[in-house]
Homo-oligomer: A and B are copies of this chain.
Amino acid sequence: MASQRPGPNLSRIATSLGVSVATVSNALSGKGRVSDALIERIRTHAAELGYVPSQAGRALRTGRSGVLGLVLPDIANPLFPKIAQAIEYAASAAGYGVLIADSRGDITAQTEAINRLVERGVDGMVVVPRRATRISAASCPVAVIDTASTPGNTVAADHWQGGREIAAHLAGLGHKQILIIGNNHESNVQNDRAGGIRAGLQPGMRSETLWIERLENETGAGCRLGLAEKARQGFTAFAALSDLQALHALTELQQEGISVPADVSVTGFDDLIWSPVVTPSLTTVRMDMDTIAEIAVSALVDRINESGTREGVLVTAETERVPMQLIIRQSSGLANPAPKTSEMENL
C-alpha cells in the first residue's frame, strides 16, 4: 500500500559497499570522520546509483523541512510573477523550496493560509501583505516585504525614493502641475510613493492626488477617471502609483484624443510586463525584486540557522530599503506649454 521510494537510500549504499549507514551519511555530508579514500568511494557510488536524500527522513530527524512559505494575500497581484520568481530563485540558491499560499484577499483567509504553511512545517516565510496586517508571531520566522514605513517590515523597495525619482524626472521636463493617481488609500506602498513624489516637487510645482478606489468600487474597474477635464485644468503630468493605473490613465487620455507624451505625460510604478509593450511605452520605476528577495531570504535563513528554538519572530535585515530605478520611456516628455489647444496632428 505504502508507496516505496524509488531510489536507493543510505542503507542500500551502505550494504552495497559493506560499510555502515552512519559512515555513508558522514561521507556524504562531510561531517564525521571518514577516510578520504572511503569518502571518495562512497560519493562516486552514491552518484552512480543516483542517490537523492529523502527530505522526509532528514526533516524528521533535523526538525527542518528546507522549505520556505510565500504568502501573497493580494488577489491576482500583477507583481506576483516577479515576486514569486525572485523569491523562488533566492530560496533555491539557498537550498530551500518555496511553498505558496495565496489567500484570496481575505484577512481571515490570510491567517488560515499562514497556518497551513506552518502545519506543513515551513522553516520560515516571506509575507507580502496588502494592508499592514499584523503578522504577529506565527510559530516560525517571518520576513515582511512591504515598505520601510510599515512597522515590522524586513526589507522593501524604497518607494519614497522612487517617488522622488518620478518627481525629479517630471520637474526636469518642465511640468508644473502633477496629478497623482492611486487606487488604495490605505496602502502603505502607495502612500510612500505619493509622499515621495510630493517631497520631490520643486518650488513652483504643485500636485493633487486622485484616489480612484471608490470610483472603481462603484462604477467598475474600467470607470472614467475624468482625466481630460484635469488636463484642461492645467495638469500636464499624470503620475500613477502603479502601472495598472498608469495604463488606465494612458488609454483613457488616448481615447479622449489627448496625445501622450505630446500633450501630457504619464508615468507609472513597478515596470510590469506591459509597460514596454504599450504605445507610447511607459515611463516607470522598477523595484529591484531580485535584491529584495535575496535580502529577505538570507535574513530568514540566517535566523533559521541561528535560532534553535523555532520561535516565531519578525526577522530584520541590515538593508531595509532597496533603491528603485527610473526607467524612462516614451510616455513622458517635455511639458506642453499650452495644453488646452491640443493639436491632433502631433507625432
The verdict on A248 contacting B278 (CB below 8 Å), with A6-B139, A56-B65, A63-B3 known, is yes
> A82-106 toward B: CB 8 Å interface, digit per residue (1/0)?
1011001100100001111110100
Q: 8 Å CB contacts to B: which residues of A16-48? A: none
Interface of A is mostly: loop
- On chain B, the residues within 8 Å of A88 by CB distance are 100-102
Whether A15 sits at the interface, judged by CB under 8 Å, is no
Q: Which residue of B lies closest to A345 (CB)?
A: B257
Nearest Cβ on chain B to A70's Cβ, whole angstroms: 8
Task: Judge whether B273 and A76 touch: CB under 8 Å.
Answer: yes
With a cutoff of 8 Å between Cβ atoms, the chain B residues found around residue A101 in the complex are: 88, 92, 97
- A222 to B119 CA separation, bound complex (whole angstroms): 45
Contact for A222 among B52, B85, B277, CB less than 8 A: B277
A300 interfacial by beta-carbon distance below 8 Å = no
- Does A203 make an interface contact (CB < 8 A)? no
A67 is an interface residue with CB less than 8 A from chain B: yes
Contact of A279 among B56, B98, B252, B281 (CB under 8 A): B252
**How distant is the Cα of A259 from the Cα of B255 in the complex, in angstroms?**
7
Given contacts A121-B55, A252-B279, contact A2 B62 (CB under 8 A): yes
Judge whether A57 is part of the interface by a CB distance below 8 angstroms.
yes
Question: Hey, which chain B residues are within 8 Å of A6, CB to CB?
Answer: 139, 310
Question: Which residues of B have CB within 8 Å of A64?
Answer: 3
